[in-house]
Chain A
Amino acid sequence: MNGALLQAAAVGHIYNGGQVGCEDVSFELYPGEILGVVGESGSGKSTLLACLSGIIRPTSGNVRFDVAGQGLKDVFGLSEPERRMLMRTDWGVVHQNPRDGLRMAVSAGGNVGERMMNVGARRYDDIRGAAVDWLERVEIDPERIDQLPRTFSGGMQQRVQIARILVSKPRLVFMDEPTGGLDVSVQARLLDLLRGLVRDLGVAAVVVTHDLAVVRLLSDRLMVMRHGRVVEAGLTDQVLDDPQHPYSQLLVSSVLQA
């Protein structure tokens, strides 16, 4: 079938010391689809995310993205400026630590507006208007638009980061432990917000997490990774309710019921 947005073919990354990051990972992601990737620390999920999002070059296989007007193109075959442009416009990365995704010395509104300027917005009123609108959508008081993210709580910073990414209407968002390090109540709010935004905008996403509740809520499909390899993949609820692989069974059965 045609129309995949992102295609990973036998993607692997072996670090210089011979340490296996990830190995032989293949999947296709279609517009609007949300793929969850779970596994314990060291399972290779962050390495995979880095390969997919153009940050580290796979040592085997390739990653192809449907570049507007050009069809599927090898992400690492693009020139550096082309790849940067892609990252600033069509893609968004939600980092676990909002400090990695925000410019801490720029106001909340400036952080959101900057991404808009990347996609060509020039009129100050449009940019400011969109920043206000997006801060409201992520439930941040627009009164605080001119304040620095440093003065915000962790949960608020995470929401500013999400506004900054979604304002440019990316087609694909990569999320690395989007709720990591947040209080449970803040997590629930953020997840619910992400779920609504992602569904309303129809963006596709790859969500890496060790939290099974996060993928249950957000993702349509799930991959379970261990020792750098995908051990099981399928519909999220099927993998969680009827896991087949011994490791997936262990992972699911290890979660404490609240």
Chain B
Amino acid sequence: MTGKTMLKIEGLAKTFTLHTQGGVSIRVFDGVDFAVGSGQCVALIGPSGAGKSTLLRSLYANYLPSAGRILARHRGEMVDLVRAEARQKLEIRRETIGYVSQFLRVIPRISAEDLVAEAAVAGGAAPQAAIEQARGLLQRLNLPEALWGVPPATFSGGEQQRVNIARGLIRPFPILLLDEPTASLDADNRAVAVELVREAKARGAAIVAICHDEEVRDRIADDVFDVSSYKAAA
């Protein structure tokens, strides 16, 4: 049911060394191997602290892995995100890998619709078309129209989360990373978010998701990957 390999993780390890805490090392995971194909969604599972978010952040080059490779299909070639130049990492983020984080990073004075549109413009969309598209997405996610022009700093958790989802899904990224995309949403909005993720899969996105909600997980994921079984051996 899945197409071409879009993301291939090989021998990935992450250890945090806390120099300000006497150099203590926290080994999170080691030897992580898995691949995600086009149109496939892999859900990361494991108890809190197992390293799901650390793994997901590593896949976005937000955390620096200690060993291993993250091969992402970018412009038709498999590129190792761990060793890519900073500039290429930025290009991969603009064109290839989208990320919906758990919390929205609010920028002072930038309205919700601009924040969403900006993600599309960064990927090359025309500004006016991007705004239209942003509004369409916010409408689908039932964000009240009165809020579109307002900076999201004062929004509720669920409202911010919907802005975040719109921002992550406005571009047809070939690879999507979702960190608890539905955690603070009510049932109706959860259903919309699930629908959007399923549409992304249908157009061929390779997805890695963290979601504790089993019902959502069952509806979007094809496979699960248990991060806790890769706990670094001492």
CB–CB B108/A192 < 8 A: yes
CB–CB B57/A246 < 8 A: no
CB–CB B90/A235 < 8 A: yes
Q: Which residues of A contact B107 (CB under 8 A)?
A: 192, 195, 217
Number of cross-chain contacts by CB at 8 Å: 50
- Asked whether A99 is an interface residue with its Cβ less than 8 Å from the other chain, the reply is no
CB–CB A221/B64 < 8 A: no
Tell me, rounded to whole Å, the shortest Cβ–Cβ distance linking B103 to chain A: 13
Q: Which of A188, A189, A242, A245 has the most CB of B within 10 A?
A: A242
Q: Which residues of A contact B230 (CB under 8 A)?
A: none
- Asked whether B109 is an interface residue with its Cβ less than 8 Å from the other chain, the reply is yes
- Asked whether B61 is an interface residue with its Cβ less than 8 Å from the other chain, the reply is yes
CB–CB B109/A238 < 8 A: no
Tell me, rounded to whole Å, the shortest Cβ–Cβ distance linking A158 to chain B: 16
Q: How far is A33 from B85 in the complex, measured between Cα atoms in Å?
A: 13
Q: Which residues of A contact B16 (CB under 8 A)?
A: 242
Q: How far is A241 from B54 in the complex, measured between Cα atoms in Å?
A: 11
Q: Which residues of B contact A217 (CB under 8 A)?
A: 107
CB–CB B20/A246 < 8 A: yes
Q: Which of A216-258 contact B (CB under 8 A)?
A: 217, 220-221, 233-235, 237-238, 241-242, 244-246, 249-250, 253
Tell me, rounded to whole Å, the shortest Cβ–Cβ distance linking B59 to chain A: 12
CB–CB B20/A241 < 8 A: no
Q: How far is A50 from B191 in the complex, measured between Cα atoms in Å?
A: 55
> Looking at chain A's contact residues, is the secondary structure mostly helix, strand, loop, or mixed?
helix
Q: How far is A128 from B16 in the complex, measured between Cα atoms in Å?
A: 56
Q: How far is A195 from B108 in the complex, measured between Cα atoms in Å?
A: 11
- Asked whether A30 is an interface residue with its Cβ less than 8 Å from the other chain, the reply is yes
Q: Which residues of B contact A244 (CB under 8 A)?
A: 17, 64
CB–CB B110/A235 < 8 A: no
Q: Which residues of B contact A242 (CB under 8 A)?
A: 16, 57, 62-64
Q: Which of B75-134 contact A (CB under 8 A)?
A: 86-87, 89-90, 107-110
Q: 7 extra interchain contacts, Cβ-Cβ under 8 A, other than A195-B107, A242-B62?
A: A188-B109, A192-B108, A220-B86, A235-B89, A242-B57, A244-B64, A249-B18
Can you list 20 A-B contacts with CB-CB less than 8 angstroms, sorted by A residue number?
Answer: A30-B87, A33-B87, A188-B109, A192-B108, A192-B110, A220-B90, A221-B90, A233-B86, A234-B64, A235-B62, A235-B86, A238-B61, A238-B62, A238-B63, A242-B16, A242-B63, A244-B17, A244-B64, A245-B19, A253-B20
Could you list which residues of chain B lie within 8 angstroms of chain A, going by C-beta atoms? Answer: 16-20, 57, 61-64, 86-87, 89-90, 107-110
